[in-house]
Structure 1
Amino acid sequence: MTTRYRVALLGFSAFERSALESYFRLAPEDGRHHTHYDLLPDIVPSREACNFVLADANHAEVRNVVAAAGRAADTVYVGTPHAPPAPPDALADLPRPIDPLQVRREFDAAVERRSRQPAAAAATPVRRYTARARQHAEEQAARQSESGDFSQSVLLGGEGGDGMFDQVLVVDDSEIARRFLQMKLQRLGYTVDTAASGHGALQMVATRRYAFVFLDVAMEGIDGFETCKHIKHMPWPLDERMMRGPVVVMVTGRSGSVDRIRGALAGCDAYLTKPLNEDELIATLSKYDDSFERVFENTVPPLAHL
């Protein structure tokens, strides 16, 4: 019986990727190896998506994504002597040039160690609606279904305010960063759209209603600050609960006071820094989404056996 593990492959040159993918695809299974590793390029390294991560230590954004996902303990880093050292809890910190056999040995050793340990349930916060918000959402969905104009962006609320839209927009010119935050928000119960630029974001906000817009600051064209100003100056309907428009959250690697002031002047409602701190994200969502509760579920991904 062979056990398959999913490995997020983050960074690396085209040549290195090709060599790694060829090795792991063709690696023989003998008496010592009853495991197979499927390399999945550039996926968000959440616990649901992969079991391990193989990361390019020379790529700053890759290091940030792994740290924000909390996956250092499941990651083999590979880098030159000039790359920053791997976190102390990393699976391994290997030198270039890449030795696929050594990479596999590190994964095999981790599998063997963990097979001797009891499985621990991963605690993950999720959203749950209050009873009144859920009832209102179901009534809204039924009316829209009858009219043939059904949308997943259902207004959860009503008199007294017990909820809000499910729809969220993530704006970042980095595909890895977009997909990472998208995955996090989907796990919390939101329906997530993405945009790669400020212009794209403004077009989407003009045609759809969003509860939150998460904006990167440093983007080509109009940056996050300008995008936020445009969103905040849009004419929102006065008969809607969310007459101020969406909550705008700046998400950036800039943590200086000047940037925070610029964000406040642009009208942003919250400011989060990369690598993203999950507790800060949860606190921001809880502040503006009154249907959000912090509860816990077992999200350890099952292993596929063949």
Structure 2
Amino acid sequence: MRAVAQRIAIVGFSAFERRTLESYFRLVDAVPVYTVGESVTDCDWLVADADLPEAILAVGRAGRVRDTVFIGGSKTPPTAGAHLSRPIDALQLRRALDDLRSRRAARALRESGLAPRLRLAATGPSGLTRQQALNDHDVQDFRASAGYSNSVLAEGDQRLDQVLVVSNSPAECRLLRERLVAYGYRVLLTRTSDEAVALTSRLVFGFVFLGVGQGGPAGFQTCRRIRRHPTLAGMAPVVVALTQKLAPIERIRATFADCDACLTTPLDNHALEQLLARHDRTFDRVFQPTAPMAL
């Protein structure tokens, strides 16, 4: 059975830009994957001109910010699906839409309870462990893991709490592992891009933290390889570039490498928490500080 093409609403843009985008989606695939529609509310995805305040307003009023790829503009809503800079690059736009589709499919898979359950040695009490306990009607006691609530995941939630850290800096690996384990994540470490690509093709990761400060262009190339390589069940991880300085050129390089976000090192705890909360919908419930119990 032929898959039904997903519809895209183009919000804003000049007549020339609209015609260019419409032509691209009409001609790029022998069997259309995307078609251009009109309705902001009924289309599967939106592409909006972030240089036009009225376009951003239209998307917000429709409640479709998370389903939108914004192009241009200096600022976009923090919950935007993706943000690309101008000039318009149709290939980058296609990749962003494909990534949004992968994330939606991954969420649907998790919510259906069909996501594969990974069995790795845990470095700390995980959200997945809590969820399995709830499913078995046997809530375990995690008082030994100071700072975590026992029943913070809602019924049907599954947390992709496995994280891959790719860096040739032992200090960077050690620091990030300590921070992430403290938030209940399980952490795998690797120093090579080849192993990182192999791991992401075999295992499901919620996040991949990619050290690019010392690897330079090779670090960003690793992100491109991860994006191009098939992932298990189409579940694409959130790729976060770690850089020693967050100059505008670094953001641009990270965007073109298809990274989802950038963080500077040494890590700022608040920035890390904001990033985790933005991309892990269970984070705010899992990471709930609890008062120490009286002995």
Normalising TM by the smaller chain, what interval? Answer: 0.3 to 0.5
